[in-house]
Structure 1
Amino acid sequence: MQVSMNNIHKAFGKNKVLEGVDFAIQRGEIHALMGENGAGKSTLMNILTGVHKKDEGSILIDNEEREFSNPKEAEKYGLAFIHQELNIWPEMTVLDNLFINKEPVTSFGLIRTNKMKALANEQFDKLSISIPLHKEAGQCSVGEQQMIEIAKALMTDAKLIIMDEPTAALTEREIEKLFNVIRSLQKSGVSIVYISHRMEEIFSICDTITVMRDGRTVDTTPISGTSFDEVVQKMVGRELTDRFPARQTKLGETILEVNNLTRKGVFENISFHVQAGEILGVSGLMGAGRTEIMRTLFGLDGKYEGEIRVNGQPVTIRNPNHAVDLGLGFITEDRKEEGLVLDFSLKDNIALPSLYSFTKQGMISDKAEMDFVQMLIERLQVKTESAQTIARNLSGGNQQKVVIAKWIGIGPKVLILDEPTRGVDVGAKREIYQLMNELTDRGVGIIMVTSELPEVLGMSDRMVVIHEGTLAGEVTAEEASQEKIMTLATGGHIHE
């Protein structure tokens, strides 16, 4: 399928999102679409697939002008869109999610469950997915939900597939499986629009790259004709000198200590500590138990065995409110379901955990609250018309900044960051890294859970690796390498 989008304009009210964008993709091409959060990438693809109507411009598909009324019409024509924000029905099974509104039926209108299972197993085998089809989707991890969405899109027999941050929740091993599928699709003539902030992936899998900035097309060029630094400069309009800012590590006292933390059947005998001013990286494959450990530490998942000490004192963390009182903050990996109240304003989301600090005699000081919120919006450079903007209307990366602002606002002693830069562009990533450095300079201890090996190596002072619910090993920044981390993550042993 060939697609050409010419001089596309789109505004939401007074907010001009796209101003004369040009984008074209050839049959069997893997085309990267890149830009900072809020550059207009997702909006452009939503226009192509009938989610939004363009204000001006033309769309040609196989040299014929065409505009879809809705996503279902686009899907029937051969366009599939794997969205960054997952469209999972949590109470339904994995199988039902895969076939929702597309169930094969007999001539009598009865659902052909066995055929659904056969088709699902065939697609899961291609992607090496081992999720039980009868499992409730809401019980799956974010990474598993991502693989379900990918499988669902691949089952539509699409001619063009748009992938918006498809690997955000996947491990290196799963990414390679997905890349093999993408290359296979390309050989059969399927076109892929690949939206990602992971530069390594873009240069590994894509043929062509189009860069957008501030709602405009900046450049389109073959991947072979550009470089990492050139792409970054086109995206942000300036040069980024270092991907990871230098750290001046000054370690203080141990502020959090975990000894033999256990939840039977999930993880066991997890021990580590965090010092003031330290970034402790937590690595491991998807499903290893990293997120479950952090949720337990924050009081989200009920009873546990083992010991937790804060500032040397043993504590039993009963719930998240208790964790916050002890000085812990938790930036969840799932900003859509757990990090934000999407229908609340930025102001209400950011101020929510800190309302007590603006309250006197039961009354909230609106001025103090707004000053606090505005300061954090400016500090994290959240792109928004105002603090009253509804969180749902922000780009994914700016939503992530709001989640971070919310927890920074409580002044934590220990901040847990679970996939802090997922779906965030390269410029915003560096801003988050700089913010992490500022926090540790002020004595905050940070636990950073990340699936990105360059990130865990580039920002951590020390790393622990989780394998199948157990602590596989610990390495310092000086001795760490991608090979050592992956060896531990896959159950191997390091031999010095």
Structure 2
Amino acid sequence: MRNIVKSFGATRALKGVDFTVTDAEVHGLLGENGAGKSTLMNILGGTYNQNSGDIIIDGKDCSTLDTNTSFSLGIRFIHQELNLVNDLMAYENLFLGREKTSQYGRLDKLAMIQASTAVFKRMNVDIDPLTEVRDLDTSQKQLVEIARALLFDCKLIIMDEPTTALTNKEISNLFDIIRSLKNEGVSVIYISHKMPELFEICDSYTVFRDGCFIQSGAIKDIDEHIATELLVGRKIDSDEVVKPANTNSSVMDINALSCKPYFRDVSFSLKKGEVLAITGLFGDGRGELAECLFGARHTTDGEILINGKVSKHRRIKDAIDASIAMIPRNRKERSIIPDMSIQDNLSMASFSNNGNSLFVRKPQERERFSRCQKNMNIKSGHPDNLITSLSGGNQQKVIFSRWLELDSDILILDNPTQGIDVGAKFQIYHLINQLSEQSKSCILFSSEFPEIYQVADRCLVMYMGQVNTILSREELTEMNVMYYATGSNLEVKNAINQ
């Protein structure tokens, strides 16, 4: 791809960038949210057409691409945002638009189910092709997206943040598949904000910043520090986040809370100005716990106390009235309203919480948008543009702004930096610590230890739906977290008892 230029109205997303991929190569594409990575890949996938520039594939000029032409050339795109139909079965999603038919023109369901079973087996994942997608969890949906790309013969696969919702075991399986594809001569463009992944799987790299080409080369010639500096255009000190002190007064007490079969007998307290991290391994009940604390899921036993008073928490509105806000995981399904503008998405919580006003006041909303755009460094065009016009990271900043506008005392942050680049992550960490300094209390649900260490005062570790331990700041090490998250202490205890 040579000298590619792409504009959306007055916004110039790509400013004459070059990008080259060779045969049987895993090429890491790096850049902050809004750097132009996804835009360039959407051009290669035929979703967008560039304003100018050339695309050469196997020595042939392919500068005018559409999705069908891109597909016929062997290019497959695994998008960052899930593009599945919840009302269809897994196999129907895999073959959507590419259905197999019999000689009489009827759908060959058996052939599609068999092919789906084979690709899932190749990926070493346990998904029934006849399961409706709505019944799959987020990680399984991500694997269905990946399977769709692997189902047909291909020369080049674009993977845009493919591991966002995957467990460590699933990531390891994916990397085995990528290595196998590479041995078969297939090339992979790998987009990720997770530096360890890039350095583990990629052969080469290209860095974009603000729509411009910055640098390209062999991944072995740089390290994570150099890559980070190339991404953000400045040096980032990983130790620059300093933990503030917090008071001992409790603002939330959870007593023997249960939501069977997901978790049971969970008890902890949250102090004023404290950042409490909750972590564990996949399937430990953390996601359901977060939903219960925000009134999005009903509990079966136990109680929630806010400032010493029992809170019923039967609805989300009850939680908001108790001065609780939440940044949910999986923003596409749980946060953004795709048919609404950036400004209206940002103001949605304020609309719902302001029962005294029957009308939306445009000047007030413009002022809100301008303030939040500046505070959160949201890169966007006109506030009336659809929120889907933003990159994933900037969408997440809009969701943060939505809930921060309520000025709640307690914030539940469920994987708040999911799909956010390294520079924006540190911005979020600073924001969390600033909230702590303002005596706001945060519950951070995360599986990333570096993130937990940046902000947490204490860390609650769950194992199989129960609290295994609560680590103090002094006890907070990656080894300790994994020890309790895997239940190793219980195995030792059982061995001693036997």
TM-score (normalised: structure 2): 0.93
Q: Quick one: structure 1 residues 356 and 80, their matched pair in 2 at CA, closer, same or farther if it must change by over 3 Å?
A: closer
Provide the rounded CA distance (Å) in 1 between the counterparts of 2:488 and 2:240. Answer: 28
Matched ranges for 1:20-59 at <5 A: 20-59=16-55
| Among candidates 186, 194, 219, match of residue 223 of structure 1 | 219
Kept in 1: contact 2:43–2:65 (CA 8 A): no
In the alignment, structure 1 residue 76 sits paired with structure 2 residue 72:
yes
Deviation, 1:110, is 3.7
1:372-420 deviation per Cα after TM superposition (whole angstroms, max 9, x unaligned): 3321221111011343332111111000000000011111111111111
1:99 aligns with 2:95: yes
Mean alpha-carbon deviation: is it higher for 320-329 or for 73-82?
73-82
The residue aligned with 1:132 is 128
Q: Corresponding residue for 2:275?
A: 279
Q: Which moved more, 1:92-101 or 1:108-117?
A: 108-117
Note if contact 1:34-1:209 (Cα within 8 Å) is conserved in structure 2.
Answer: yes
Ranges in structure 2 where 5+ consecutive residues have no aligned partner: 494-498
Matches within 5 A, 1:334-373: 334-355=330-351, 362-373=358-369
Q: Secondary structure at the match of 1:239?
A: coil
For the residues of structure 2 that align with 1:166 and 1:356, how far apart are their CA atoms? 34
Q: Give the Cα–Cα distance (whole angstroms) in 2 for the partners of residues 193 and 277 of structure 1.
A: 43
> Are residues 327 and 202 of structure 1, via their aligned partners in 2, closer, same or farther at CA, if it must alter by over 3 Å?
same
Which deviates further from its counterpart, 468-477 or 396-405?
468-477
Task: Indicate the larger mover: 163-172 or 110-119.
Answer: 110-119
Rounded to whole Å, the distance in 1 between the matches of 2:479 and 2:418 is: 22
CA contact (8 A) 2:44 2:65 kept: no
Q: Is the 8 A contact 1:50 1:67 kept in 2?
A: no
Give the letter aligned to residue 74 of structure 1.
Answer: S
Deviation at 1:467, TM superposition (A): 3.0
Aligned partners of 1:312, 1:459: CA distance in 2, in Å? 26
What is the letter of the counterpart of residue 351 of structure 1? Answer: S
Q: Deviations over 1:457-485 (max 9, x none)?
A: 33222222233333333323322333332
Alpha-carbon shift at residue 125 of structure 1 (Å): 2.9
Asked whether 1:240 is paired with 2:231, we answer no
Residue 157 (structure 2) pairs with residue 161 (structure 1): yes
Q: Give the superposition deviation at 1:360.
A: 6.0
Single out whichever of 461-470 and 139-148 deviates more from structure 2.
461-470
Paired with 1:379 and 1:350, the residues of 2 have a C-alpha distance of 13
Query: Structure 1's 103 and 359: CA in aligned 2 closer, same or farther, altered over 3 A?
Result: closer
Q: Is the 8 A contact 1:35 1:425 kept in 2?
A: yes
User: Aligned residue for 2:419?
Assistant: 423
Counterpart of 1:81 in 2: which secondary structure?
strand
Deviations 1:78-103 (CA, angstroms, capped at 9, x unpaired):
11101001101111122222222233
- Confirm or deny: 8 A CA contact 1:252 1:443 kept in the other structure: no
Q: How far apart are 1:364 and its partner, in Å?
A: 4.7
The residue that corresponds to 2:496 in the other structure is none
The change in CA–CA distance for 1:329 and 1:197 in structure 2 (over 3 A counts) is: same
Give, in angstroms, the shift of residue 143 of structure 1: 1.8
- In the TM superposition, 1:4-15 aligns within 5 A as 5-15=1-11
1:329 corresponds to which residue? 325
1:399-448 deviations in whole A, cap 9, x for unaligned?
00000000111111111111111111111111111000111111111111
2:446: which partner in 1?
Answer: 450
Shift in Å at residue 357 of structure 1? 7.4
Q: Which deviates more, 15-24 or 249-258?
A: 249-258
What's the C-alpha RMSD, in Å, of the aligned pairs? 2.1
Contact 1:26 1:191 in 2 (8 A): yes
1:227-273 Cα shifts (integer Å, max 9, x gaps): 22222222111111226612123234221122222222222222222
The 8 Å contact of residues 462 and 469 in structure 2, kept in 1 or not, is answered as yes
Q: Is residue 411 of structure 2 the alignment partner of residue 436 of structure 1?
A: no
Are residues 149 and 241 of structure 1, via their aligned partners in 2, closer, same or farther at CA, if it must alter by over 3 Å? Answer: same
**Residue number in structure 2 paired with 1:402:** 398
Report the TM-score when normalising by structure 1. Answer: 0.94
Q: What residue is the counterpart of 2:388 in the other structure? A: 392
Residues 106-159 of structure 1, C-alpha deviations (whole Å, 9 max, x = no match): 323343434333332332233332233333212322222111111221222221
Report the alpha carbon displacement of residue 181 of structure 1 after superposing the two structures with TM: 1.3
Whole-Å separation in 1 of the counterparts to 2:144 and 2:302: 34
**Pair 155,483 (structure 1): closer, same or farther in 2 beyond 3 Å:** farther
Indicate which of 257, 260, 265 corresponds to 2:261. 265
* 1:214 positional shift: 1.2
How many percent identity over aligned positions?
36
**Which residue is 2:201 aligned to?**
205
- Give distance in 1, aligned partners of 2:279 and 2:167: 10
Q: Which amino acid in structure 2 is aligned with residue 255 of structure 1?
A: V
The alignment partner of 1:163 has SS state of strand
Q: How does 1:310-321 map to 2 (within 5 A)?
A: 310-321=306-317
Deviations 1:54-95 (A, max 9, x none): 111111111111145422331232111010011011111222
Residue in 2 that maps onto 1:142 = 138
Tell whether the 8 Å contact from 1:287 to 1:468 is kept in structure 2 after alignment.
Answer: yes
Residue 84 (structure 2) aligned to one of 81, 88, 98: 88
For the Cα contact (< 8 Å) 2:246–2:271, is it kept in 1? no
